[in-house]
Amino acid sequence: MPDFLNPAAVPAATAHAALIALRLAIAGVLGFVVSWIYRNSRKSTEIVASFPTTLVLLCILIAMVTQVIGDNTARAFSLVGVLSIVRFRTVVRDTQDTAYVIFSVAIGMAIGANFIGAAVVGIIVVGAAAFLMTKRGATRSTDEPPFVLNLRVAIGLDLAKVLAALDPYVTGCDLVSMGTAKQGACLDATYETRLKEGRTVDDIIKTLNKVEGVQNVTFERQRFEE
């Protein structure tokens, strides 16, 4: 007779189901804590709208998977094989976001394995470290938010000369992309850069318009969401 039809096994099954539900509920609560830490230790312009919700769901799902696996090695390998077919298309834009994904996974695994104390202590320690580093970063950072600089120049123009004219206005120019335009007559170059304190976009555009061979200048605020 199957266990669920055996009256003597019903109380034990009910207690087991209640324990699983309790662990998943705790994982959900701690997942919200992880999400709250993420929201409050990151700049609002750096947050992808769906990411905090993903952290909560990930914590619950990992707790559930951990309970399904238990001590069964064969089941663990089977789940790895099943999960390997999943392809995630979203690119994590920041290494700190990757750290929060690992944070959520670790909390979910701890709850699923019934190490609730380790999960709580981990949240306290990691949360304190996140807020401490946020405050230190806020006091040290004086640069403006990142911008994308798009340049269209004549094909024979030395880009190093153009970038040298920007030295008084920006901090670093990291090449993002480069290509030709107008059937090879022009060169399009895209850079990521930051304005120096006290400088404006108008300063850069006016300076570049004075450089012979520069045909078009576009300065855009960097976007964190597509």
Give pLDDT tens digits for 67-78: 888 877 777 777
DSSP the chain: --GGG-GGGHHHHHHHHHHHHHHHHHHHHHHHHHHHHHHHHS-GGG--TTHHHHHHHHHHHHHHHHHHHTT-HHHHHHHHHHHTT----PPP-SHHHHHHHHHHHHHHHHHHTT-HHHHHHHHHHHHHHHHHHHHHHHHH--SPPEEEEEEEEETT--HHHHHHTTTTTEEEEEEEEEEEETTTTEEEEEEEEEEPTT--HHHHHHHHHTSTTEEEEEEEEPPS--
Same structural domain, 10 and 115 = yes
pLDDT at 141 > cutoff 50: no
Report the CATH number at residue 199.
3.30.70.60
**How many structural domains compose the chain?**
2
- For residue 124, being part of any structural domain is answered with yes
For the stretch 85-137, pLDDT in tens is 555 555 566 678 888 888 998 999 999 888 989 999 999 999 999 888 876 55
- 226 lies in some domain: no
In this structure, are 111 and 160 located in the same domain? no
Among residues 140, 169, 190, which one ends one of the domains? 140
Domain boundary among 140, 161, 188: 140
Q: Are residues 95 and 151 in the same domain?
A: no
Render pLDDT for 35-66 as a digit per residue (tens, 0 to 9).
999 988 877 656 777 888 989 999 999 899 88
Q: Is the pLDDT of residue 206 over 50?
A: yes
| Domain containing residue 208 | 146-221
